[in-house]
Amino acid sequence: MSDKLILGISGSPRKGANTDICLQAAMDAAAGVEGIRTETIYLRDYRIEPCLGCFACCPKTIVPERDYACPAHRDDDMSKIYPKLLECSGLILASPVYFGNMTGQMKTFMDRTEPLLRYGTGKFKYGLQHKVGGGIAVGGNRNAGEEFTLLALQYYFQVHDMIVVGSGGQPTPGCYLGGGATTWPNDKSESRDGVLKDELGLMSCRNLGRNVAETVLRMGI
């Protein structure tokens, strides 16, 4: 039996900075679970057009099987991400907090998964349903929108009828909605690796990755 894929997606525009560090901690923990393999996508490397709200991906009449999900943007880079979303058993979304919420890159990606809902066609219909999801939010300050961002990510998972896990257990940090860390306080306001000083936050990310992986195996997804 082949290993189950956990897909991590970073919505940070900053290469190798705090969100990438937190996501990597989660992915390393997931990869440490036997029977799991991981892959990471960085949205900044992809050209993803915004959803037009045209619902061409959700026709009201039956259409023939097709190998593309979005008729409006058939040639942008979401075409490279859709197959990975269909293949994965678990999905970890990580975003820095911008103005109290996720980044525009992450929201644009999320909007473009409309074809994977029940309205989609062929193999894309219910593309994420019953898979395992976990969220990571990284903020520059305490109480700056991390929990709100985690809830927004979890709402996305629930819209897709996914199984949502948090980052508790192992036995610390306890009861957390998901993974996440903060760069505050740090010595440099522009520190690209400030989360490395937040050991509790990094532990929550590792716990999240492990929980996603172990839930995938428990559920036999």
pLDDT in tens, 205-218: 999 999 999 999 99
Reported as type and span, the H/E element at residue 133 is strand 132-139
Please enumerate in sequence order all residues whose Cβ is within 8 A of that of 167, keeping only pairs 6 or more positions apart, or say none. 134, 173, 176, 177, 178, 179, 180, 204, 205, 207, 208, 211
Report the residue count for the chain: 221
pTM of the prediction?
A: 0.94
pLDDT tens-digit readout, 66-117: 889 999 999 999 999 999 999 999 999 999 999 999 999 999 999 999 999 9
Percent of the chain with pLDDT over 70: 93
Please, which residues bridge with residue 179 across strands?
136
Rounded to the nearest 10 degrees, what angle do helices 18-31 and 199-219 cross at?
Answer: 40
CA distances from 107 to 50, 94, 119, 215 (A): 9, 11, 20, 25
In this prediction, residue 38 carries a pLDDT of 98
In this prediction, residue 61 carries a pLDDT of 64
Gyration radius (Cα) of the chain, Å: 17
In this prediction, residue 60 carries a pLDDT of 72
In this prediction, residue 122 carries a pLDDT of 86
pLDDT tens-digit readout, 14-54: 999 999 999 999 999 999 999 999 999 999 999 999 999 99
CA distances from 177 to 38, 56, 65, 152 (A): 22, 35, 38, 11
Q: Flag the least confident range among 60-64, 148-152, 156-160, 181-185.
A: 60-64
Reported as type and span, the H/E element at residue 96 is strand 90-96
The neighbour count for residue 153, using CB atoms within 10 Å, is: 28
pLDDT beyond 90 at 128: yes
Reported as type and span, the H/E element at residue 214 is helix 199-219
